[in-house]
Structure 1
């Protein structure tokens, strides 16, 4: 029997490189110069000198971590010469190299995604759903996982927060404040923003921070014509597909015709009243009272943009609720997620 091995990361002179091995344990012991009496490594990494293809020479000093019987990972220095020498050593013992495939946890864009990918990898051979999918408690287990749906959306980078409202409500100003840079042009003239502008920010704290996609859209105004009308229609399409919509309403003016009802607003959407430095217009106040979602406050974005961003973040984190525990299995594979949803719906 032989063993298989794969590089999980690309080589680089200033980097470390991660390799995964699996297969015949006796061949792997010989590869690494271990005796039969030497214990197989556990989950805690240990330092190990790796022999080279030439007898009596050392290839490198590696961190070795056991993943189970006949399965382990090596972390070596990342130089191309080290990678070549390891391949030569593996060839001596019948190793078969598999194509390099980046571990999702190593390419994750946020701490939350990395944490959940690592957890999924640790249970890849027998994850909890495999143990429950054919049992009497399948639907109940699926619903327990689906309770973390919003966090999974955030971890997959699919949480799209759309900034929407009439022209000059402050969407671009809020976007720039959230990004802490001048990304979007701010102008008093309707139609300045025509294409949706996207940018990623973190939502959540520490290891639970996931990716929130901010989207600034063209203002909604009834008088738009030509390319401006097309931009308004694109805004409506983006709003319809949003994870959440953050509606901005100028509290000092009578609402624009496009904002005099909330047909597209949902219970989880947010409302931010702007131009708080000016007297509140009665019609704007009445419209704000009728908002079906969550109001986050009134702000003058020329002076209080940072405070407005903080209020929006707090409300989004409140809606998310507590993050999944470190030992919570939460799949990020869309197909597996669809299977869980189907199982939960089957017994509703």
Structure 2
């Protein structure tokens, strides 16, 4: 384990974890026009692409198998390099689980400031990623690295799924409950860690936990609609799901689980910039009158390796709301 009093990886990055994502509004403006004509000899039928901003791309290939492709990487979210590697790998693998798939093979993506940080720390990052891939039963076979001013790490992941049993963000329907499989507050706790050096073991445990069991439970319960909650926060990902599905999400703020210390950390001023940008993006599409600004910011908090948001009941996961027919053009009503 890295001695964070000697080297604090979070001090080498402007942002941290999924909070360093490009703001969702800006990102959608960039990628919105990128869908081009598919060649007639394409290798398979594209089932999920750019249209609704889902968690991964999905292509139907021969033999009734769906191929899932995704990538995710980010700057250090914690100071310990081994833990950062584990968190980044779990986060990247989550996109495959969020589509109802199983990861098969992954490639490392590493950016490293060679002259500023010992490469031994990069070895620890890669070791953490390899450990999580092994836990997931996913091959880790090579990758790519560059010399960069900021350290970054993640994975490009390929998985498989049954094309008739996918979890998508556009298949929600009115009457379904909403379940959340991990508590919120990772963004504010990670911001506090970066500012103070305090270590939050319970947050690390949440971020390194795979969403494999949650995805399996969702599929077993008959769910067809899900997404994972990462850098755009619960409100951001819920907005995308409700928008893609043509419904409104009624969210019970009191039912949303929070990590211990999350609210106190926010009150102490620890808030990633991405959380406020998330709230600003969602506000025009949501009715947030029932909650105060503090609660709204926690609901929009930029998560790293968060849980699955499932349209359906998942055993052991709290129900935090429901989907209803579209109300007044809003995608979210917070109660």
TM-score, normalised to structure 1, is 0.22
